[in-house]
C-alpha cells in the first residue's frame, strides 16, 4: 500500500527533521528564485536531457544536433548560488555544462562534480550559509531539466550524503567546510566508479555462446559487454535500431570496435527474434520505488515479449538513478519529449507520439545490476530508504 512505500516513510522522516532544522538550517529558496528557475530551458516542449544526450549517443538529424548545441550554448538565466558568486563569475550551471562535455561522464555525475565546486568556491562564513547555498545550487540544477530523473536523484543523494557528517561538531567553520568538501569529492568518486563495479557484477551472468538483446545506448550495459569480451567470453548481441534516434546503430558500432559480433534489428522485429535470445540487457533513466524502471521508449514492450517467452531481463543502473518516484501507469510521470523525423512531411491533422520513455513494472524484470550489488526488484524500496535516510 502507498503508506508503506519508501516515499511515505522518507517524507514522514523529512517532516520530523524539518521541524527541528527549520529555524537554523536549509531554508528553501525564496519564491522569486523559484520562479526564476521554473523554465531554464530555451527550447520549450523538448526535454533538455534528450537534446544534449543525442550528440553523445545517437546518430540523429542535423536539426536535432543543432537543437542540442543551442541548449548547451544558451546562456544560463539562473541566479548565482550566492550574491558574492557573481563577482567571481561562478555559475553552477556553467560548471555543470563544462563537466557534461565529457561524453563518458553521466549527467548525474556531472551535477555532483558541479555541486562539489560550489563548496570549493563558496565564500560562506557559517555551515547554515553553506548549506543554503548548496540547496539553491541543487535546486538550480534540478530545474535545468525537470524531466531528467538521474539528474534530480543525483542532486538529492548528494545533499543527503554530504549532510550525513560529523562536520556539525567542528567549532571551526573552515574545518567543517573541508569535511563537507571531502565528502563531496568522495561521493563524486563513488558515483564515477559505479559503472566499473556494475560491469564486474554483470559480466558474470554472460556465458559462452549466448545471444544478448540490448535496447538503446546504455553506457553501463556497454561497459558490461566490453568487460565480458575482455574476459575472453564469446557471445553475440542483437541491437534494436532504437528509433527515432537510432541509438542501436551507435551501440553496434561500439561493439564492432571491440570485435563483439552484433546484429541490428528494426524495433518491430523484437518478437520475431526473441527465440534466438538468451537474455535481455537494458539500462535505465531511473529506478523507481516499486522496483520498476523508466527507460527509453520500447523497453516495456521488449520486457513483455521476454516475459512471455521466458527470457531473463537484466537492468544495469547506477545507484544515483534510484529515484523517489512511484508511477502507477505509463502516463503517471513527467513527460520527456523528443523530436521525431519520419523523413517525409506529416499532415498537420496527424498527431505524433513524441514521448521518449516508458515505464516497465517490476514483474517483468529479473535482476538489477547496481553498484550496491545484484538486486531483485522487490529489494529496491528497501535500498531507497537506506540511500535517502
The answer to whether residues 277 and 212 touch, using CB atoms and an 8 Å cutoff, is: yes
- Hey, is 141 helix, strand or coil? helix
Average pLDDT, consecutive stretches of 10 residues, N- to C-terminus, the chain (389 residues): 44 52 40 39 51 47 45 44 49 86 82 88 82 88 84 86 64 76 83 89 94 93 94 95 86 93 93 95 91 92 95 93 86 77 83 86 94 89 73
Q: Does domain 90-195 have CATH number 1.20.120.420?
A: yes
pTM confidence score: 0.73
**What pLDDT sits at residue 50?**
53
User: Which residues, in sequence order, are CB contacts of 232 under 8 Å at separation 6+?
Assistant: none
DSSP 219-232: HHHHHHHHHHHHTT
CA–CA distance, 92 with 81 (Å, rounded to integer) = 7
**What pLDDT sits at residue 1?**
40
CA–CA distance, 7 with 87 (Å, rounded to integer) = 40
Beta-bridge partner residues of 293? 287, 360
Query: Which residue's entry shows cell 540490448?
Result: 214
**What pLDDT sits at residue 15?**
55
Residues of the chain with CATH 1.20.120.420: 90-195
Residues of the chain with CATH 3.40.50.10470: 205-340+354-388
Closest listed residue to residue 336, CA positions, set 121, 83, 54? 54
Query: Which residue's entry shows cell 538529492?
Result: 156
**What pLDDT sits at residue 351?**
85
Q: Does domain 205-340+354-388 have CATH number 3.40.50.10470?
A: yes
**What pLDDT sits at residue 109?**
87
* CA distances in angstroms from 19 to 16, 139, 388, listed in the order given: 6, 21, 18
Amino acid at each position: 500500500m502507498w503508506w508503506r512505500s519508501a516515499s511515505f516513510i522518507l517524507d514522514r522522516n523529512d517532516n520530523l527533521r524539518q521541524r527541528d532544522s527549520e529555524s537554523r538550517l536549509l531554508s528553501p529558496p525564496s519564491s522569486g528564485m523559484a520562479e526564476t528557475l521554473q523554465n531554464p530551458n530555451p527550447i520549450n516542449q523538448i526535454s533538455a536531457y534528450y537534446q544534449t544526450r543525442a550528440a553523445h549517443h545517437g546518430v540523429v538529424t542535423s536539426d536535432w544536433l543543432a537543437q542540442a548545441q543551442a541548449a548547451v550554448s544558451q546562456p544560463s538565466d539562473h541566479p548565482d548560488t550566492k550574491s558574492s558568486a557573481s563577482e567571481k563569475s561562478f555559475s553552477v550551471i556553467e560548471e555543470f555544462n563544462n563537466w557534461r562535455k565529457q561524453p563518458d561522464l553521466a549527467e548525474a555525475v556531472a551535477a555532483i562534480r558541479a555541486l562539489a565546486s560550489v563548496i570549493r568556491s563558496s565564500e560562506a562564513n557559517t555551515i547554515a550559509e553553506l548549506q543554503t547555498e548548496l540547496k539553491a545550487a541543487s535546486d538550480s540544477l534540478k530545474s535545468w531539466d525537470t524531466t531528467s530523473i538521474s539528474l534530480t536523484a543525483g542532486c538529492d543523494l548528494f545533499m543527503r550524503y554530504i549532510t550525513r557528517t560529523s562536520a556539525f561538531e567542528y567549532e571551526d567553520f573552515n574545518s567543517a567546510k573541508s569535511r563537507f568538501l571531502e565528502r563531496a569529492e568522495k561521493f563524486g568518486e563513488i558515483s564515477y566508479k559505479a559503472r566499473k563495479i556494475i560491469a564486474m557484477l554483470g559480466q558474470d551472468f554472460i556465458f559462452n555462446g549466448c545471444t544478448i538483446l540490448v535496447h538503446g545506448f546504455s553506457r553501463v550495459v556497454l561497459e558490461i559487454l566490453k568487460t565480458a569480451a575482455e574476459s575472453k567470453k564469446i557471445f553475440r548481441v542483437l541491437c534494436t535500431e532504437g528509433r527515432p534516434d537510432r541509438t542501436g546503430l551507435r551501440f553496434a558500432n561500439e561493439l564492432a570496435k571491440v570485435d563483439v559480433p552484433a546484429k541490428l534489428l528494426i524495433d518491430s522485429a523484437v518478437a520475431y527474434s526473441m527465440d534466438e535470445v538468451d537474455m535481455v540487457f537494458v539500462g535505465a533513466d531511473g529506478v523507481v520505488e516499486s522496483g520498476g524502471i523508466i527507460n527509453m521508449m520500447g523497453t516495456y514492450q521488449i520486457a513483455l515479449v521476454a516475459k512471455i517467452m521466458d527470457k531473463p531481463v537484466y537492468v544495469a543502473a547506477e545507484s544515483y538513478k534510484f529515484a523517489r518516484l512511484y508511477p502507477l501507469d505509463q502516463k503517471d510521470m513527467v513527460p520527456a519529449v523528443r523530436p521525431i523525423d519520419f523523413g517525409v512531411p506529416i499532415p498537420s491533422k496527424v498527431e505524433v507520439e513524441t514521448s521518449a520513455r516508458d515505464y516497465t513494472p517490476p514483474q517483468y524484470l529479473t535482476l538489477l545490476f547496481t553498484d550496491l550489488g545484484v538486486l531483485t526488484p522487490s529489494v529496491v524500496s528497501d535500498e531507497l530508504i537506506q540511500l535517502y535516510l
